[in-house]
Amino acid sequence: MKICVLPGDGIGPEITAEAVRVLNALDLKFEMEEALLGGCAVDATGNPYPEATQKLAQAADAVLLGAVGGPKWDSYPREQRPERGLLGIRKQLGLFANLRPAILYPELANASTLKPEVVAGLDILIVRELTGDIYFGQPRGIEMRDVDGKHQRFGFNTMHYTESEIRRILRVAFDAAKKRNKRVCSVDKMNVLECTQLWRDVAIEVGAEYPDVELSHMLVDNAAMQLVKNPKQFDVMVTGNMFGDILSDEASMLTGSIGMLPSASLDENNKGLYEPSHGSAPDIAGKGVANPLATILSAAMMLRYTFNQEAVAQRIEGAVKKVLAQGFRTGDIYESGMKRVGTREMGDAVLAVL
C-alpha cells in the first residue's frame, strides 16, 4: 500500500503528521514517501506541481494531502500559484469524483451556528464533479478588448461538460445513495445555464437506471438556502465543480467547524487523493493549535475507498468519536468545560484510544 504524502503549506505539515502517526499505529504495512505540492513546491522549484511529485503521485496507490496556498503567493503569476498544483494533480490523476461528508457528531451539536434541533443527526454526502466545469474550461483569460466603445480589460471563463463526464459522476452519487438512505438531489442552474440543462437531462436518464433511488432536482441558489433552512432533508447531493465547491464549504460549517470534515477525490478505479476540506490557515500555522481530526478522518476514508479496509476505517472513526466524547477539543471546536488541546495532543488522544 503505497501512499504519497504531500504536507503542503500552512498548517498542512502539522495536521498531516498526526494522520501519518495514526496510519503507522495500525497493523498494516504502508510505504509512505513525502513530496512537495503547492507554495512550498513553488519556493523550492518554481513549480507548484514539480515533476518529481508527479512521478511519485502517479506511482502511489493513494495520496494524502494537507493543504496548499496562502497570501504569500497571491501576487505570483497564476501558473505559479499553489492552487494550480492542486488542480494539476486532480487533472493528471483523473480524480473526477470528490466525496465530502458533512456529519455532525452529537458531542459537537453546540458548536454549530445553527440551532441544535436543525442540525442534530446531520449526515449529508456531497458528491462534487472535480475535473470539469468552469475551472478547467477553455478558452479562458484576461485580455484587452473593445467593448461598449471602450478599449478595456475583459475577463472570461468557459463552463462546459460532456455528457460522459456528467454521467459518470452521477453514477458515483447513485451508487453511494444505495448504501445510504437512497435519495439523490441533483443541483444545477438549468433555468439560465444551458450547460446545466444538459446536467439535468442526463441526471434524469441516469436516475432511470436506479429505480430504488429517489431523484430530486434543485436550483443551486435554492439549495444554498435549503442547506441552512432544513439541511436534514438531504442525503446525497450531487453537482458540478463550481457549485460543489461552494455548497460543500457551506455544508461543512453546519457541523460547527470545517476542521472536522474529511474528503476523498477518486478516479474510476478508486485510486484517491485524501485531504481535509479546510485550507492552509496560515494565520495559525506553526502554532500547534490546528485541528488534525479532518485529516485523520481523511486517512480513514483512504482505508475505506482505496484499500478496502472498512473495519480499520471504522476503528479510526470510532476513535475520533470517543476522543470527542472524552471532551478533547482544539480551539476551533472548544467550548467551556472541555479539555482544550493542541494538534499533537489531539493526535495523542486518538492514538491512545486506538
**Is 235 tagged catalytic?**
no
Q: Which of 135, 161, 210, 305 is catalytic?
A: 135
Q: Which of 249, 267, 322, 348 is catalytic?
A: 249
The DSSP output letter for 189 is: -
* CA atoms of 71 and 65, how far apart (whole Å): 19
**Is 2 tagged catalytic?**
no
* CA atoms of 170 and 337, how far apart (whole Å): 44
Q: Which of 9, 191, 164, 151 is nearest to 94 (CA)?
A: 164
Q: Is 116 annotated as a binding residue?
A: no
Q: Is 224 annotated as a binding residue?
A: no
Assigned C-alpha cell, 254: 453546519
**Is 123 tagged catalytic?**
no
Q: Is 286 annotated as a binding residue?
A: yes
Torsions phi, psi for 124 (to 5 deg): -115, 145
Q: Which of 189, 210, 305, 332 is catalytic?
A: 189
Q: Is 55 annotated as a binding residue?
A: no
* CA atoms of 303 and 263, how far apart (whole Å): 12
Q: Is 100 annotated as a binding residue?
A: yes
Q: Is 83 annotated as a binding residue?
A: yes
Q: Is 201 annotated as a binding residue?
A: no
Q: Which of 245, 267, 321, 334 is catalytic?
A: 245
Assigned C-alpha cell, 218: 434543485
* Beta strand 97-103 pairing with 62-67: unpaired
The whole-angstrom distance between residue 202's C-alpha and the CA centroid of its chain comes to: 24
**Is 249 tagged catalytic?**
yes
Q: Is 199 annotated as a binding residue?
A: no
Contact between 44 and 51 under an 8 Å Cβ cutoff? The reply is no
Contact between 244 and 129 under an 8 Å Cβ cutoff? The reply is yes
Q: Is 305 annotated as a binding residue?
A: no
- The residue whose grid cell reads 504569500 is 72
Q: Which of 55, 221, 229, 339 is catalytic?
A: 221
Q: Is 76 annotated as a binding residue?
A: yes
Q: Is 29 annotated as a binding residue?
A: no
Partner residues linked to 214 by β-bridges: 183
Q: Is 284 annotated as a binding residue?
A: yes
Q: Is 82 annotated as a binding residue?
A: yes
Partner residues linked to 4 by β-bridges: 33, 63
**Is 221 tagged catalytic?**
yes
Q: Is 287 annotated as a binding residue?
A: yes
Q: Which residues does the annotation mark as catalytic? A: 135, 189, 221, 245, 249
| Binding-site residue ranges | 70-83, 90, 100, 128, 221, 245, 249, 279-291
| Binding-site residue ranges for NAD(+) | 70-83, 279-291
| Binding-site residue ranges for substrate | 90, 100, 128, 221
